[in-house]
Amino acid sequence: MKRCVLALAGLIGLVIPAVAEEIVASPWLDFREARVRLLSTRLPPKVMGVIAGLEIRLAPGFKTYWRTAGDSGVPPMFDFSASSGVRNIEVHFPFPSVFDDGAGGKAWGYKEGVILPILAKRETPDYSIKLKLDFAVCGTMCIPLSGEITLDPIKATPVSGHEAQALDLAMLALPTVEGPDAAPPISILRTAPPDPPIWALRIPYRGDARKFFAFPEAQGFLEMTNAEADGDGFIKITLSGQAAPGSGGKFGPVRLTYGRPGAAFERMIDLDGATSR
Provide the pLDDT for residue 103. 67
Measured in degrees and rounded to the nearest 5, phi and psi for residue 71 equal: -65, -35
2-174, CATH topology level: Immunoglobulin-like (2.60.40)
What residues form DSSP beta bridges with 253?
Answer: none
Provide the pLDDT for residue 8. 53
Q: DSSP string of 176-229?
A: EEPPTT-SSPPEEEEES-SSS-EEEEEEE--S-GGG-EEEEE-SSEEEEEEEEE
Q: What is the pLDDT of residues 29-73, one digit of tens each?
A: 999 999 999 999 987 878 889 999 999 999 999 999 999 988 778
Do the Cβ atoms of 96 and 108 come closer than 8 Å? yes
Provide the pLDDT for residue 160. 87
Pick from 37, 243, 61: which is nearest to 129 by CA?
37
Global pTM exceeds 0.75: yes
Domain parsing of the chain, residue ranges: 2-174, 187-276
Do the Cβ atoms of 53 and 89 come closer than 8 Å? no
Residue 18, pLDDT > 70, answer no
Burial status of residue 263 (CB atoms within 10 A of its CB: 0-12, 13-18, 19 or more): middle
**Which of the two residues, 262 and 194, has the higher pLDDT score?**
262
Task: Pick one of 2.60.120, 2.60.40, 2.30.110, 2.30.30 as the CATH number of 187-276.
Answer: 2.60.40
Tell me if 2-174 shares its fold with 187-276: yes
- The strand order across the sheet containing 221-229 reads 221-229, 234-242, 198-204, 187-191, 275-276
